Chains A and B, each alone.
Chain A
């Protein structure tokens, strides 16, 4: 009783604060100074038409490196909590019919059509990160959804976990090496001018942004696949 009352009081207090925030909000008429300087400088200095990917991989590249570290820690902690030598699970094996029965024909047929399309789409999103909407994180999530479809359609499918772990670690290490190369060759850590800027809007342009997008996509995709594989019974 007292708990329900305190929940109602807490939610009502939050509601009052949010209402005051929502009422006093006015739309911006023009860009703030920092945003305007980013929008002006990204096409000039980096040669990338996609301003958001340009910000994420040059001006805020250190935050992206921090997120790469957070994802690695999450994959390690999920592996620690769920792996640990596979102790006996609570569901006995006659209640787990996905080991006794194969998956249904509809899911297998759907997987045969969809897995190539999803893979091509993931590669397209990653490679076009600097030209139009897309980028490393988005493409990595689509790669993981492709692996999930394979796990659902073919229950005997064992993704090669060692290869995924090695690919993920190599991608992360290459990311940091690209940053150190920027420190040695160009101006600062994770500077994107170590590769030529190229022509605006061409496929190979904008310095290291496509290369970093590919590394990010491979890393996120392998990481999420390892996490998804740890959830199997």
Chain B
């Protein structure tokens, strides 16, 4: 039940992010929409790994070693998402650097001004 709610939230975020990329004309808003899409994807990956009545895969006072395999959620999607979050942030940094250079060349942040790549 709860993982279905989280999954639907992630899918909604991807929809809103892709609508934002296609609609907005300001470059900074397009970058924010990319970040939204990335966050939605991470939420979906983590939600897939949920096991019914599971808990975090860390063995400490509350989770004993012997009952670990029956009570934890899937650790593999969480490990993949840790990598994905850092790479998504690095790609956002590259996009922002390109935005600064584009603004320096044409003095505007509207993407309609950059038509060199259109056929």
A228 CB to nearest B CB, Å: 8
Q: Are A63 and B83 in contact (CB under 8 A)?
A: yes
A195 CB to nearest B CB, Å: 20
Q: Are B83 and A64 in contact (CB under 8 A)?
A: yes
Q: Is the interface of A mostly helix, strand, loop or mixed?
A: helix
Q: Are B79 and A52 in contact (CB under 8 A)?
A: yes
Interface residue tally on B, bucketed by range: 35 or more
CB within 8 Å for A81 and B94 given contacts A14-B18, A40-B68 = yes
Of the residues B60, B70, B79, B101, contact of A60 by C-beta under 8 Å: B79
Q: Which residues of chain B (82-98) have a CB below 8 Å from chain A?
A: 82-83, 85-87, 89-91, 93-94, 96-98
CA distance A133 to B85 in the complex (A): 16
Among the stretches A26-34, A102-110, A113-121, A155-163, the one at the interface with B is A26-34
A93 CB to nearest B CB, Å: 15
CA distance A169 to B29 in the complex (A): 34
Q: Are B4 and A25 in contact (CB under 8 A)?
A: yes
Which A residues are in CB contact (< 8 Å) with B57?
39, 50-52
B10 CB to nearest A CB, Å: 9
Which residues of A does B touch, CB under 8 Å?
7, 10-11, 14-15, 18, 21-22, 25, 27-32, 34-36, 38-40, 43, 49-52, 55-56, 60, 63-64, 67, 70-71, 74-75, 77-78, 81-82, 89-90, 131-133, 135, 137-138, 141, 220, 227, 230-231
Which residues of B does A touch, CB under 8 Å?
1, 3-4, 7-8, 11, 14-15, 18-19, 22-23, 49-52, 56-60, 65, 68-70, 72, 74-76, 78-79, 82-83, 85-87, 89-91, 93-94, 96-98, 100-101, 103-104, 107
